[in-house]
Structures are given as structure tokens and as C-alpha cells.
Amino acid sequence: MNRFDYVKPATVAEAIAAAGAPGAAYLASGTNLLDLMKGNVVRPERLVDITQIKELTRIETLDNGDVRIGALVRNADLAYDASFARDFPAVAEALLSGASAQLRNAATVGGNLLQRTRCAYFYDTASACNKRAPGSGCDARDGENSQHAVLGWSDACIATNPSDFCVPLAAFDAVVEIEGSSSRREVALEALHLLPGSTPEREGVLNPGELIVAVRLPAAARGFARHARYLKVRERNSYAFAVVSAAAGLVIENGSIKQARLALGGVAAKPWRAHDAEALLAGQSAEPEVFEHAADAALREAKPSGDNAYKIPLARQLIVRALAAAAQGTPSRMPALPASPFSAVPGALHDA
Amino acid sequence: MTPELNLSRDPAHLRHGSNIGQPLSRVDGLAKVTGRATYAADNNPPGLLYAVLAVSSVARGRVAALDVAAAKAHPGVVEVMTQANRPPLHSDPDGKPNPFSFRFEALQNDRVRYANQPIAVVIAESLEAATEGAALLAPRYEAEPARIGLDADAAYVPPVVGMGMPAEQRHGDVEAAFAASEKQITAIYETPPHYHNAMEPHAIVAEWQGDRLVIDTPTQGLVMMRARLAELFGIAPDNILIRSPFLGGGFGGKGLMAGPQVLGILAAKMVGRPVKLVARREQLYGPFGHRSPTKQTLRLGASAAGQLAGIHHHARIATSSFEDFYEAAAHVTHTLYAAPAIATTYDAVRMDTGTPLFVRAPGLAPGSIALESAVDEMAEACGLDPLAFRVKNYAEVEPSTGKPFSSKALRECYTQGAERFGWWERPLKARTMRDKDGFLVGWGMGTATFHALMFAGQARAVIRRDGSGVVESGAHDMGQGAWTALAQVAADSLALELDQVTFKAGTSDLPDAGIAGGSAHTATVGTAIHNAGAAVIARLAELATSDQRSPLFGAGNAGVIARNGRLIRRDDEGRGESYADILARAGLDEVDGSGSGVPDPAANEQYAMHSHGAVFAEVKVDPDLGQVRVTRMVGAFAAGRIINPKLVKSQLVGGMIWGISLALHEEAVTDRRSGRIMNANLGEYHVPVNADVPAIEAFTVAEHDPFVNPLGIKGVGEIGITGSAGAVANAVAHATGVRIRRFPVRISDLVRRA
């Protein structure tokens, strides 16, 4: 990798000041960034290591009932926080379905939000990639693209966002707190990432030097805790990115859906919130036909971007399954294989 | 609860002592889990420099320019080695001095013949500086279109397949057999390229001490590699020391010397300092061999009652543009099922990849999944249970040669495996089993087989004045447990306890142990050790029986036996003498003896020698989403004498997991335009993780083989893959009613589309 400056600020203000220079990048655990640097996919001139900023490591409940998660909270710490997992079970399940135990022990909340796509052509610096080298083209379009996007893609880019965590965050209206050199602002998680359009290099709304300091889950998201699931289809049963994933949350009263939340992962350049499907579910009874209509609504715009047409029926089946699982009720214990379709039996041994 | 393997304590298996057959934990286990086991890249001699490979991003063409100046200007970079300035080699990397010498790249010219081929080496004071130096080379290429895929070029019939087997081999008349068959099936099965993916990457630490070369590098063939290096560098083999005490997995990928090892040695020569070169993970997908993709056409004919009449197994395979190695995927069909007519044929295409080479269970791994799938398809066509069909077509003699088997306890494997699994509850019809949660359940099985091979190896045994022993052979521990199993054989060969024997292995200055491959290492080296022990015991006996002062005087060499560090009279066990006393009286510090392990040509002429097994698998499949999970596996294996049942179980279970991998996970994804492998990392080249591995039972059935070698060892390293992959594939078909013939089975194959 290239030679770079390395600074280790103690406060957010120092960090932002240090990252003001062009070519600077924030470093948390580096579970993605260091791989990208080793592969010469990115070559920052300065790394601003924020891991010493203690104020970013807290999980706290605010006066209004929102839960505020510091950007440096480790994925595993958040998922295993008992009260967090009780209140936001689908978020915990998504976290525990991601990566491996070792990576979850290191990876941070803020870093997870900003992880880059796993499109192999993005990582392969000899390939054309509009995201990595704007204007160079997209070798994924006619390449090995069975895992690529079926929603929101453009001719310029068909990559997907690989995050599990972001999918339920989008579903449950999480808010991202961002600090910059002169201001502090908030962005809905759903609006954090951008679809590629003609500028796939612009992946989100963060400006250079801005730092994610926290993610907030609104108090109202607790209302879905009894009927919330995250399900993830993958080519092996752990340590694999989602082919398609779905977060579903329901508020059910007297057998009728009062409110619904639905988001998909692995299908687009951002976690894909399915508002139309949610609207369609509200007021309906929790039945398979209703879920199928919702799935159709969620995927109305879906189209293959390559050798991936199968992902559309797969997403449809998964939405129906996730909604049915949510309707059935959140398991009393975290399944041994979180988010796996094979965790039909809550808490079952993984080889049962 | 998984039962322990049966201990082989049959007195017939005990030569002198009782070490063979014990389920000892590996003697190097503690060192490994505490980080004290030194792998090649752990060595840091004083003055060490770091070398990093720059590799090609095109698959075919030439390197037109390298920015050597930019690389050399980077702080810490000491030297950049390219085809323009590298030290000379004594012989041509593109030469072919013997069939085991494969052509490789050592910067002999500017040609590129596959992606990830080394095109320069940057040597620096730190790994980081060398890495950045390699990036700064910014190569420019004159690229030519890459030929990738089994249809990328004109196919031809290869001269031979595997190591010298004919590309066309016929027994009986398959066409006539098909014409007379009431049931016929033809099916095409495809397997993708596979890479070894050993945990330990290829690495070398090379140091020149004048004319003498000392290297640390993982190898499965110490003496063969030494000979190759001697010829390449024009120095005497005795002037080369290779140390390879531990390998972090070999799987055939470390069987032969590879170009980057030569480059590490050249780099050390160029800078006059020790150099360490470790291939990056993604660089392992290129110059170190891989398994060819295959496209196999199986044609089977049978009577309506399910008696096989003929099998034609044709394999389309690939090799590189510059070398010939042909995965012998079809040959498994000659040895397994009793069809009166069997034909195997091959054709091949040249691709712009590194040369495909030996990968665990060469030929048999992809061949077995195709054959076992096709046999199941025929069983189904005949309306027969898959196991009943296999038993009905059981080969009492090797089908293609008519030779009797040296031993074959496959029937016992079928019986005991089926019983343990509960196979006979299986409904004949596919897609009829569901679990209580609605998942589709399927049961499948496959026959496992691997040749019982031996190469040639030597060993030396010593009895010292204190009565203790030393046994030496340059054997290789790739994680399979050679340090332990061979020490057990060594102790028995000297009739001593394990802790009385020092076993030395893992360096090239010890007696040649041959290559650790072909599942033949324990048989080869074990036999050599057995014979070396016998030789030294005979020398001791000679000393004692010819000495009037010995209680054994006059007993004759055959009249004494060794037991617990003593020689005793066969006809009067009360009369005997310790080794130490014999040596003391003879005034000797030690006696030694040598032995070799080589296959017996007469026995090989007379008998067909194979290990066998039966593997049973249960899978669950999500009926909507198409995700597959193996939930249960049982493997019963017959592999002759078991030296260490604990290590053997690990080998068998590991092989069975590899079988899951072959059926459901492994695939190198190649971009056909560029020839680059797009998932050259362990995150995205999937091998099973714990969540993919169910409760696995592996056990051996008793098998006594008096013909393979004196100890009756057949080898267990690779057989576990065969049979297992087919069992999983067949279970998926039984669960879903859908026969997937392109491996690995993917979600896109099984997702419900309506």
C-alpha cells in the first residue's frame, strides 16, 4: 500500500480538523478500508484513526426514548446488548448474520454504514469501474454479475450495497448523526446512500471530511419488537454476503396489520425500503396472499441487470417468508443461525 | 454423538509393539496451537529482505513496459528484478527434464501466459515498501484475447491423462452394450475450476551461503524439489538444504516446485542477502496449479432389472497454453461398477490459465461426482433404490482389468454405513420427505474409492547405546499427522515405546521419503521405516546370536524376536537381552539400518489395489428460497490397516467436508474476457464454514490387506472427497426432484420461480 500519514485524535473536533485535508480517510476498525488499501482500490494520503474517541462508543437511551448508538460501538457489542436486542430484534439479528464472529468483534456501527460494495470489478483495479474510476465504464455489465442489482441500477453501475445492518435500520427509520467542520446535521438512513444514476462514484450524501458520530433508532421502532425479523439468503450458511435479504416489522392488532415496515438488502446500491409494500400491508390481515401482493409491489420496478433474473423471484419468496415470520412473532431467543431460513425453530441447535 | 473409530488391535496387526493402532493425539498439536510450530514464513534470518511479486493483470500477451525507476525510487526498495536483469539460471524454466517437471515462469522472457503470472519481483527493506514498489511498476501490456472456457479453443485428444494413463481406454464394446440395453441414459455434468486454498500461502525464505543454498519453504516433496533446484541452479543437491517441518495444508498445491519459489531464490542471489517471499492470497490463483474445469458426458446402459451393461465416461478438460496436464476425470469408471463394457475417452482445450495440476483427489473428485450422479439417475430409471442398484452392480473383480482386488470391504461399508444412517427408511420417490418445518429432505449416497498407491521412499533407523532409537526419513507433515503416525510406526519397527524413539522428518538432508501425495505417504514411508527397523533389529540379532557371552547365542537370526527394547528367544521367551546390553558388550555406540518402501511389482501385476467407502448424506432444502443445508453425513471406509484412528478420522471427516464443498460451494469465477479470477479470496471463493458442516460420522470397517505392503496400509487422505460429493448431489436431487448437473449447486438452480 501507499505511504500515508497516520493521526490518532482524541476528540471529534480534532478528528474533523485532521480529516479536513484532501485525501484523508477516517479509520475505525478497518475491516473494509484496509482490504481496499491493500488492493490499491483506495489510496488515502492520511488516515485519521478515530478509535480513541471514547464518546463514540456509547449506547444510550435519550429522554425522548430514542436509542443513540455511537459510531464506534462494535457490531457484536450492539447485537449482544440485551436491552437493545429486546427492543430492536431484527437489527440484532441482521448484525449477527453479517460477516464472521471475528469481524463482528471488530467492525463498528459507523464503518458498517459506509462499507463499500463487494462488486468484484470494483475491487479489481484492472477492470473498468465507474465507481472506482469515473467514466472508465462498467465491466460488471457483461461480466460475472449473478449477484448484482435488480433495483435502482443504472447503465453506469449495477453494484449492490452489502450491509446487513443497514437493511433493518432503513426499515425502522433510523437517523444518522453527522458532524462536519462547521455544522452538525442529521440524515435519515434511508437517504444516506445514493443510487448510482450517472455518478456511481458518489455513494452517499456525506461530504468530504464529515464524520458519522451516531445512529439513532426512534422510540417508535420499538413498536415492532414483537413482530420483527431479518432473513438472509446466502450461498453458504454463514460468512457470506446476502444474495437477497429482507427486514420485516409489523404491528398487529386483532389479526390485522396496523403498521408495516419492509426493506431489502442485496438488491440495490442502497438498502431498499419498500414504502409501496408497507402502504399496501397497512390495514390488511396478516395472510399469505396479502404478503404476496406486498412482495409484488416491492418488486414492481425490479429488472435483471445481467445473469441475475433469479434474484427477483428469490426476493419475492423472501419477502413473503420474512413477513410471515414477522407475523408469527419474534423468536424468544436469537436463533443459533441468525437470519437463516433454516432457523425456523427459534433457538434450535445449528445442526438440529 | 459420534462413535470413536474402531481401534485396530487385532494381534495380526501388531508386529513388535503396540503403538500402531493407538488413537494418539498429534505430537505437534501443542506447538501448533501455541504458535511455536515454525512455518516457512515464520523464519527471519538476520539481514532479511522482503520480496513481493508483481503479477500480470492480463491473461495473454507481453509486458511492454514497467516503471522500474518509480519502484526503485520508493523509500526502502532495494532492487527490482525483471526479465531484463535477473540472475541466470542453469537450465530453462520451459525445459522438461522429466515428466514431473512442469514448466514455470521465472522471468525468462516478457511473455504473459495467464493472469496472475509473476512479471517482476520487488525487493525491499520492509514488506510494505516492497508491496508499494510492486504497485508503482504500473505495467503496460500488449494484450491478446484470452482463451477461457471449455469451448474457448479447438478440442483435441490429449496424448495421455493423469500421470501417463491412456486418453482412450476400452473394455468390451460399449456401443453394442448400449444397443442391447433396455434402459439408457446420457447426461452431462460440469465442474468449475478449483484452487487448493491451503490456509498457509506459498512462501519461501532463501539464503545463499556462498554456493550453498538454505531455504525454508513448504513442500510435499523435499528431495524431488531439491533435485529440481539443483538442476535449475547448476549446483550439487548436497549443497541445498530445504526445511519444511510443517505445512499449513498442501492438497497437492505444494507437491511440485513452483515459479515463485525459484524467484525467491533468484532474488536472494541478486541482492546477496536472505529474502522472504510470500505469495499474497490472490496470487495463489495462478502459478501454483489448480484443478481443471470439467464437462463430463456419462452414457449408461442397463437391463430393465438394473444390471449395468455399459458405461461410457467422456471428459472434456483443459490445460494451459504451454504445458500438458490432463485431469483424469473419467478413469474412476474403470474400477467401480461391474459393467461388462466400459469406455473412457477425453478431449481437451488449451486455455490462458496457469497449468492445472494435482488438487486433492486428482481426477477422482470431479469424476466421482459425475459417475455417482449418473449411477443414481440410472437407478431411478430402473426404479431401484440407489444402494440396491450399486450392490446389484458390485464389482467382485476390477471391471476393466478382471484382476482380483487385494482386498475390498466395500460391501461391509455399504451395510454398516446404511445401517448407521438408517438408509433403508428412504422413500424411493424424490421430493416426498419434509421435516416438521416444511423443508424438503433428501437422502443420497455415493461410493468412495481411491487407489492404494505407493511411491518410493527410504528411511534409516538407529539403536543407540542407551537402548533408545532414532528413525529418520524426510517425510512431510501437511497437517495430516505424519509426525505422529510415522513415529508410531517407527516405535513399533524398533519394538520400543513412542517416547524411546526420536523421529526426524521434514528436511531434505534426511533419507528421501518420496512425495507426500496420492494418499501414499504413510504406506510408502511407513514401509520404509518398517524395513529400516527390521534391518537394525537384524543387525542387533546378529551381534547377539554370534556372541558366546549372549543368552541368545546360537539362536540364529530368525530365532529371536524384538519386544520392549529387548531381543528374546522365540522358543524360550525367558531368555533375552536388552539392546543396551548387546551394544555395550559389542563395544558399539550404535547400530543402524536402512529400509525402503516401494510397491511390489508382482503384487501390483496380480491385484487391483483400492480403498473403498460408502457415504450417506441428508440435506434439507428450502422449497421456496432454494438454499441447501447438509444436515447429516455418515461415511464408512475400508482402507486397510489404520495406523492412528484419531488422525484417520480427521482425514476422513476433512475429505467429506471437501465433498460438501465440491457439491455446494467451490468455484473459481473467471471473467471470460480478461481471464482474471474474480473471487480470488477466501471471503468469496466459498468453502464450507462451520455452519455448513453437519454432524459427520466417519468410521472404518476392518480390512486386512496382505498384498499392498507389509503393514497393509492403503491410505486415507483423499478418499473422503470421493463418494461424498456425489452423496450430497444425490441428496439434493432426492429432496427436490430436480437433478442439478452443473456444480456447485446454486440458489439460482433451486429457487421457486412461480
pLDDT digits (tens, 9 = 90+) for A122-167: 999 999 999 999 999 999 999 999 999 999 999 999 999 999 999 9
The rounded distance, in Å, linking the Cα atoms of B560 and B539 is 12
Q: Which helix (H) or strand (E) holds B747?
A: helix B747-750
Work out the percent of chain B whose per-residue pLDDT is above 90: 95
The rounded distance, in Å, linking the Cα atoms of B285 and B678 is 10
**Over the stretch B50-63, which tens digit does the pLDDT of each residue have?**
999 999 999 999 99
Chosen for mutation from A3, A147, A314, A328 (greatest number of chain B CBs closer than 10 Å) is: A314
**How far does CA B440 lie from the centroid of its chain?**
34
The rounded distance, in Å, linking the Cα atoms of B400 and B165 is 14
B679 touches chain A (CB under 8 A): yes
Domain count across chain A:
3
B492-to-A106, B17, B401, B591, B597 alpha-carbon distances in Å: 50, 5, 36, 17, 16
Q: What is the CA radius of gyration of chain A?
A: 20
A349 lies in some domain: no
Determine the residue of chain B that is closest to A39 in CA distance: B135
ipTM: 0.96
Q: Is the dihedral of CA A304, A309, A311, A312 positive or negative?
A: positive
CATH at residue A25: 3.30.43.10
- pLDDT (0 to 100) of residue B14: 42
- pLDDT (0 to 100) of residue B518: 95
Average the pLDDT over B262-291 and give the result: 98
Write down the mean pLDDT value for chain B: 95
pLDDT(A295) > 90: yes
Cell of B739: 437433478
A247 lies in some domain: yes
pLDDT bin (cut points 50, 70, 90) of residue A344 is low
Domain that holds residue A315: 223-328
- Report chain A's terminal Cα–Cα distance, integer Å: 45
Q: Write down the residue that cell numbers 468455484 correspond to.
A: B667
**Which residue from A2, A40, A321 is facing B625, i.e. has the nearest CB?**
A321
**Over the stretch B308-352, which tens digit does the pLDDT of each residue have?**
999 999 999 999 999 999 999 999 999 999 999 999 999 999 999
pLDDT(A346) > 70: no
Are A338 and A93 contacting, i.e. CB atoms less than 8 angstroms apart?
yes
**Over the stretch B466-498, which tens digit does the pLDDT of each residue have?**
999 999 999 999 999 999 999 999 999 999 999
**Over the stretch B671-706, which tens digit does the pLDDT of each residue have?**
999 999 999 999 999 999 999 999 999 999 999 999
A126 lies in some domain: no
Q: How many CB atoms lie within 10 A of CB A296?
A: 16
Same domain, A232 and A281: yes
Determine the residue of chain A that is closest to B75 in CA distance: A3
Q: Is B96 in a helix, a strand, or coil? A: coil
Q: Write down the residue that cell numbers 473394455 correspond to.
A: B171
Same domain, A247 and A315: yes
Same domain, A200 and A315: no
Phi, psi of A164 (to 5 degrees): -85, -45
CATH at residue A233: 3.30.390.50
- pLDDT (0 to 100) of residue B559: 87
Q: Is A188 in a helix, a strand, or coil? A: strand
**Over the stretch B141-189, which tens digit does the pLDDT of each residue have?**
999 999 999 999 999 999 999 999 999 999 999 999 999 999 999 999 9
Helix runs in chain A, H state only: 12-18, 33-38, 75-79, 82-87, 89-96, 101-106, 109-113, 120-123, 166-171, 189-192, 275-281, 288-298, 311-328
Work out the percent of chain A whose per-residue pLDDT is above 90: 94
pLDDT(A345) > 90: no
Helix runs in A11-119, H state only: 12-18, 33-38, 75-79, 82-87, 89-96, 101-106, 109-113
Same domain, A210 and A282: no
Chain B residues touching residue A143 (CB < 8 angstroms): 671, 673, 678
Same domain, A263 and A212: no
The rounded distance, in Å, linking the Cα atoms of B298 and B375 is 9
Same domain, A201 and A251: no
pLDDT(B532) > 60: yes
Inter-chain touch B622–A342, beta carbons under 8 Å: yes
Average the pLDDT over B240-253 and give the result: 97
Average the pLDDT over A227-241 and give the result: 97
Helix runs in A107-247, H state only: 109-113, 120-123, 166-171, 189-192
Chain B residues touching residue A324 (CB < 8 angstroms): none
A254 lies in some domain: yes
**Over the stretch B406-462, which tens digit does the pLDDT of each residue have?**
999 999 999 999 999 999 999 999 999 999 999 999 999 999 999 999 999 999 999
Same domain, A69 and A176: yes
Same domain, A44 and A110: no
Cell of B179: 444397443
Chain B residues touching residue A239 (CB < 8 angstroms): 683, 689, 691
A24 lies in some domain: yes
Inter-chain touch B678–A143, beta carbons under 8 Å: yes
A77 lies in some domain: yes
pLDDT bin (cut points 50, 70, 90) of residue B754 is confident
Q: Is the dihedral of CA B552, B557, B561, B566 positive or negative?
A: positive
Same domain, A235 and A282: yes
- pLDDT (0 to 100) of residue B261: 98
CATH at residue A214: 3.30.465.10
Same domain, A270 and A232: yes
Last residue of a domain, one of A187, A220, A253: A220
Q: How many CB atoms lie within 10 A of CB B156?
A: 12
Average the pLDDT over B292-315 and give the result: 98
**Over the stretch B547-594, which tens digit does the pLDDT of each residue have?**
999 999 998 877 899 989 999 998 998 999 999 999 999 999 999 999
Contacts of B317 by beta carbon, 8 Å cutoff, 6+ apart = B150, B158, B161, B292, B293, B294, B326, B327, B329, B346, B347, B348, B349, B356
The rounded distance, in Å, linking the Cα atoms of B297 and B328 is 14
Residues of A with CB under 8 A from a CB of B: 1-3, 38, 40, 100, 118, 120-121, 124-127, 139, 142-144, 146, 233-240, 243, 310, 313-314, 317-318, 320-321, 337, 340-342, 344-345, 350-351
Q: How many CB atoms lie within 10 A of CB B64?
A: 11
B1 touches chain A (CB under 8 A): no
Q: How many CB atoms lie within 10 A of CB B381?
A: 17
- pLDDT (0 to 100) of residue B18: 60
Same domain, A40 and A175: no
Contacts of A237 by beta carbon, 8 Å cutoff, 6+ apart = A337, A340, A342, B627, B629, B689, B691, B692
Determine the residue of chain B that is closest to A234 in CA distance: B627
Same domain, A181 and A319: no
A125 lies in some domain: no
Inter-chain touch B683–A144, beta carbons under 8 Å: no
The rounded distance, in Å, linking the Cα atoms of A193 and A200 is 11
Phi, psi of B719 (to 5 degrees): -60, -30
A74 lies in some domain: yes
